[in-house]
Amino acid sequence: MPELPAQGQLEPAASIPARGQGDPQCVPVCCFSARHCRQLPQEDPSLKQHLPPQKPTQPSLPACSELSPPPVPCCGFAGDAQAHALLTCLQFPALLLPCLLPWCGGRKGGCAHHQGGSQGRSAQPSSSRHGLSQLRNVAYSDAIKQHQKRLSAWFSHQPNEERQFGPSFSLDAVHVDPVIRQSSMEEILKPSPDLTIQNQLQQPCSRVITLQNLFDVDACGRQVKNVVLYGTVGTGKSTLIKKMVVDWCHGRLPRFELVIPFSCEDLSHSHAPISLRRLISKKYQHLRDVVPMLGASNLKVLFILNGLERLNLDFRLAGTELCCDPNEPVPSSAIVVNLLRKYLLPEASIIVTTRPSAVRRIPAKYVGCYAEICGFSDTNLQKLYFQMRLSQPGCSGEGSVSSSSGEQENLVEMLSRNLERHNQIAAACFLPSYCWLVCTTLHFLYFTRMVPPSQTLTGIYTSFLRLNFSGEVLDSTDPTNISMMKYVAKMVGKLAYQGVMSRKTCFSEDDLQQCFEVEMKTESELNLLEVFRSDVFRFFLTPCMQPGKEHTFVFTIPAMQEYLAALYVVLGEKKTLTQRVGKELSEVIGKVSEDVAVVLSIISKVLPMRFLPVLFNLLKIFPRYFSRLSGKDRDAIAHTMAEELFKEEDYYNDDVLDQINSSILGVEGPMRHPDEAPDDEVFELFPIFMGGILSRRNRAILEQLGCSIKNLAAFEIAKAMKKTVIRKSRKGLPPSELMDYLFFLHEFQNERFTAEAIRSLRAVNLSSVRMTPLKCSVLAAVMGTTCHEVEELNLTSCNLDTSSLRILFPVLLRCKALHLQLNSLGSDACREIRDLLLHEKCVVSNLRLANNPVGEQGAQLLAEALAGNRSLTHLSLLHTALGDRGAEVIAQHLAENQHLQELNLGYNSLTDTAALRVVEVAKKHATLDKVHLYFNDISEDGKRALHSLRMDRDGVRALVFLTAGTDVSDYWSNILNVVQKNLPFWDHERVRQHLALFLQDLESSRRQTASPWRKAKFLRVESEVKKMLGKLQQGTL
């Protein structure tokens, strides 16, 4: 092969990818521009071996046979060599282009003759480059468009945690850019302030910069090429990079023609040497035609290196050699180093994201701009984020867009007011990650209507940690390679657990140092602690915003303290020194026991040493004995869970779901005075999180985070819980505590355990618990694990509505006594109740609907239910606004019912006609023997007519007044008890009038009787009525 021109004298054309190979290679055929070509020998064996075989039937350039070739051929070929080269160019059009372009010129359809002279020769290279550039642009444009399409689909992909916001959510629709502040190496290297004066909320400053301006010229007028974007965990680095890539894909980042993102975590797992071009082609195969031009054209390229802390970079020449060839295979870390050195592709721009502890791995001379992500340091950004997230059309779930739009606006308004109070939540939402957690929790609390719920609260917190810590190692340079979440569970979990046990939420600097530094003994441990403080500390702990506690720290979200405390206990980190040493010793003995057994068996055959079998048995006994001790540890975990779940001092607090709601949205009303004694801290989520962490799904996610919980451990803890949790639940719990217990069973996600626990509950009393759709779903899911009949379900004053009844429908079918008083259930809800009573599997025998606005329409639906029901024996419609027409409708259908025994129509504004009509029908009923008609508008004539009824003669008792002729009614105490219970919900003036009528009737009947015994009974009842009237007038009822 003759000598080719030296490097720098040639202008190489576009390299052609070799067939069957992934890495582009240059075809060794002379294909340079005309001014650098030399004439080759006619018979060059080295050239022939690279030329394709010549087909004998193929004509030799017939299209050019009539042309007048220039005196100097464009490539200088002669004879057969020239023909072979041209045939090669025909098979490779990219090779033919540089040869034909000097021949083709201004005449349409022909070839231009060579004109000679300097002018003609100088025009040929520019014409060649112009034509080649046009064809290149077409190929590049198609490849880059395909690249943009794929990147957009890739980076717009929603993780499972995001899909709960509905199909309308996307990164373009919901994104708020965090505050980015220009920084410098001096600010990064300066000593960190003491923990007590750390200022989490960054104050507004003049050095705020936008993402689009990061690559502007610096203060010296030089173009910035390398940018380091750093921030602590949770500030939104990855999301910001995703948004940047999506913006470029949609043409909103015109500064760069090509963007190539890389994950440093992926690069850290690549150990084999690889070239830059091969690396790009391997990850983005659609760029294989563009990759050869990197460095050979003016293509404006941006490399994105996300998560630089995962790479161990060495910028010393002795550690990483120089490399300027994109085709040279080197380690992936060497590629990154030489890109940042600007020795490899010096014209490329680079943006690096990293945590603060890894910023110093890049020498400052290689960085043009430092920028710190400060999160949502402005509360207006937080409000904007919440408004965009919570106002999404798909946020409220399917089929509830119109009905929930007002609720969405109300949530945004309450959340905004709570942020304006400079509450602790404003400090938490400084991190965009916690804004996501707040929105997800509110979505869970307000828009969950599925049975069973698709999520658990523990699952939300576990997924939240996975989004922020998945695959994260605390320090990649540390040989232990401990996962970040494992370190947090061990260190921060210990602090959280100590706070829960001591009922403390605020921690001083001494508390932090005692928890974090007391066990630091090696240099490696101190280095890990320094990295934790730099990168992770602010994610979990933030300065307290309460007056007088500025120098203390609290957990960013109160529930996070209980979650980490639960994780600390369940992982078994709560061990004494003896237990830790015993565990390590047991593992060592267990590993060597098999080898020792072989050695002892051989020695015992040679030497008659009787003590060797005894020694061997002792070695086997110790691991077994320690396993029993570890089993006792799991009993202790179950005992701790039961003790915390059923603490009597927490019996009358709000249920945990209402507590979470209040912690996010705040409590409406005057703020607490600084001198006022605070309420006792409540940690009722702690045992619930312990149960939730043991669920299979959460254990699988925690396994990905480096926090392993074995199946055997979870099984043994659940087995131990049956002895403690179920036994204590049988003692009877207040309504709010019972709701917490049901929520615990839902979070535990163990169907067999839940079924056994529910069978032990014969009566479920949830009165006065605000039954949101989520709580109804939890109740339906937990009760749905069994098919047993429930003796009583009390849902009095639970804010139920039609959707709640629809969710609870399968549970209501199995309840014998069903209490639905004081729930504002109207005619729409009566439609659900009608379907319930007409269901073939309905076992409801006692239904109480008192103090609900049933009305005439509801009465019509209930009357239809009465006609077809076969289980109902007691029905209370006390104070349900029936009126005469509603009562008459019920009377019309009453004859078709053959099982009703008692009907309460009191306080429904019935007149004589309607009351007598009901009683007349009741007289003919086979089983109905008692009708309540007190507190109705019945005249004296109607009263006398009703008094004339006798059970032995007419077969029905009409309870109208406290008297029965000249005697006191046997049901006077029942009537007064009903009045006493319902006074807070009734019109006091109307009750006073009716009580006055009762008193007049008692006095009149007492005067008519001569029996001293009866007079005494009248006086006793009169005194009870007078007491009630006196309290009513004083307003003490």
* Per-residue model confidence as pLDDT tens digits over 41-86: 344 443 334 334 444 443 333 333 333 334 433 333 344 444 444 4
Q: Which residue has the higher pLDDT, 7 or 385?
A: 385
Judge contact between 406 and 353, C-beta under 8 A.
Answer: no
Share of the chain above pLDDT 70, in %: 75
Q: Does 27 score more than 60 pLDDT?
A: no
Whole-angstrom distance, CA of residue 193 vs CA of residue 18: 59
- pLDDT tens profile 274-316: 999 999 999 999 998 888 888 777 889 999 999 999 999 999 9
pLDDT at 296: 73
HSE of 725 in the Cβ direction (CA atoms, 13 Å)? 31
Beta strands in 60-178 (DSSP E): none
pLDDT at 539: 94
Helix axes 883-894, 855-868, angle to 10 degrees: 10
pLDDT band at 1 (very low <50, low <70, confident <90, very high): very low
Those residues whose C-beta lies under 8 Å from the C-beta of residue 15, and which sit 6 or more positions away, are: 24, 25, 26, 27, 292
Task: Identify any residues that bridge with 903 across adjacent strands, giving them in sequence order.
Answer: 875, 931
Whole-angstrom distance, CA of residue 547 vs CA of residue 153: 48
- pLDDT tens profile 988-1018: 888 888 888 888 888 888 888 888 888 888 8
- Classify burial at 53, counting beta carbons within 10 Å of its beta carbon; exposed 0-12, middle 13-18, buried 19 or more: exposed
Q: What is the pTM of this model?
A: 0.79
3-state secondary structure of 187: helix
- pLDDT tens profile 692-750: 999 999 999 999 999 999 888 899 888 888 878 888 888 788 999 999 999 999 999 99
Q: Worst-scoring range by mean pLDDT, 322-326, 399-403, 543-547, 919-923?
A: 399-403
pLDDT at 137: 66
pLDDT at 168: 55
HSE of 1005 in the Cβ direction (CA atoms, 13 Å)? 25
Residue 1022's nearest CA partner among 980, 983, 981, 972 is 972
Beta strands in 102-236 (DSSP E): 180-183, 226-230
Whole-angstrom distance, CA of residue 89 vs CA of residue 712: 70
The mean pLDDT of the chain is 78
> Distance between alpha carbon 374 and the CA centroid of its chain, in Å?
22
pLDDT at 798: 95
3-state secondary structure of 1005: helix
Going by the DSSP 8-state scheme, the letter that residue 295 receives in this structure is: T
Residue 396's nearest CA partner among 449, 325, 460 is 449
Task: Report, in this order, helix, strand and coil percent for the chain, each rounded to 5.
Answer: 50, 10, 40
Q: Span 344-356, mean pLDDT?
A: 94
- pLDDT tens profile 946-987: 777 665 556 677 788 777 767 777 778 888 888 888 877 788
Share of the chain above pLDDT 90, in %: 40
pLDDT band at 610 (very low <50, low <70, confident <90, very high): low
Q: Span 543-565, mean pLDDT?
A: 89
Whole-angstrom distance, CA of residue 678 vs CA of residue 30: 86
- pLDDT tens profile 507-532: 999 999 888 877 777 888 889 999 99
Angle at 598 between CA 597 and CA 599, to 5 degrees: 95
Judge contact between 768 and 796, C-beta under 8 A.
Answer: yes
Judge contact between 235 and 372, C-beta under 8 A.
Answer: no
3-state secondary structure of 599: helix
Going by the DSSP 8-state scheme, the letter that residue 12 receives in this structure is: B
pLDDT at 19: 37
Which H/E stretch holds residue 404? helix 401-420
pLDDT band at 643 (very low <50, low <70, confident <90, very high): confident
Tokens of 66: 């009539």
Judge contact between 159 and 467, C-beta under 8 A.
Answer: yes
Residue 340's nearest CA partner among 407, 236, 264 is 264
Q: Worst-scoring range by mean pLDDT, 115-124, 665-674, 796-805?
A: 115-124
Q: Span 581-604, mean pLDDT?
A: 51
- pLDDT tens profile 419-461: 887 678 888 888 999 999 999 999 899 988 888 888 899 999 9
pLDDT at 1012: 84
Q: Does 88 score more than 70 pLDDT?
A: no
Whole-angstrom distance, CA of residue 133 vs CA of residue 146: 20
